[in-house]
Structure 1
Amino acid sequence: NQTAEIERLKKNEEVKRVALSAALTVKETSIFGPYNTLTHAVFKNVLTNVGNAYNGETGFFTAPVKGAYHFEVHILSPVGSGYTAGAALMKNGQRTFTAYESQTSNYQSSSNGVILVLEVGDRVSVSATPNSKIFDNQNNHSTFSGHLLFTM
């Protein structure tokens, strides 16, 4: 059936379109942390969610297809807080990389990026590292972004 084949191809092409970009907070000034242990952070201000793979209520990105995905995290920590600007990108609850900065005065920022091969259903999220403060406000300083590079 030609119509069914066209619909299958359309669906296949749609599932290849996956992109997310979210900031930590929606409108208010917010500071997340510090905590004594690695603590899951929910980036609630969802700016882009093509493919609906990211859940702004839970903070988890769930891979809809097997493929290579690129993720970035950018963190800002408050001025003179005495805490670090640290975050870990987690894959299925395991740390894959860390963004980290520590200084005694002024705002501090950290960022990192990674390409991960994900299976269908793998979950990616961000956690604050111990003794970190993550700052955000309506200017979207602290963000979590990712997109599908290609399917496999």
Structure 2
Amino acid sequence: MNEVWKKPPIPLDDYLKLVGHEVGVSSWHLIDQKRIDVYADVIEDHQFIHVDPERAKRETAFGTTVAHGFLTMSLMSIMSYEVMPVIEGTTMGVNYGFDKLRFLSPVRAGSRVRGRFTLTEATLRKPTELLSRTNVSVEIEGETKPALVADWIGLIYFA
């Protein structure tokens, strides 16, 4: 089992105190051509800007292939597991969606990205259900502008 799943849980009251604060920054994750190609196969999107390095070099301003935006977005899951606390008594958490998601900069093949997480809301909707809203910025190593910013919503359920 991956070590990020084994964080010690924190009390709900401690989680609620994190609202308005940066919770953490994930480790760097490499987006190499192999990862891009595997993702292209999974989603059946083989546009040349993602999978043809020579053509992308010739015909785009990027100078190389770039990751699918949704590939970069999908890495937010592992990034969140690295930094977001687990609340005591949690039985499951589910992705509830996004109120905002913007792709701001292309992620060139060979780049590394990491997520910066700020908890912006934690509201008990029911005694056993917490709505959690997190602002996420996925940074590209060596770049000033992030790959994406998102207002990500999750539901956390308790026993």
Report the TM-score, using the length of structure 2 for normalisation.
Answer: 0.30
Greater relative contact order (CA < 8 Å, ≥ 6 in sequence) = 1
**Bigger share in strand:** 1
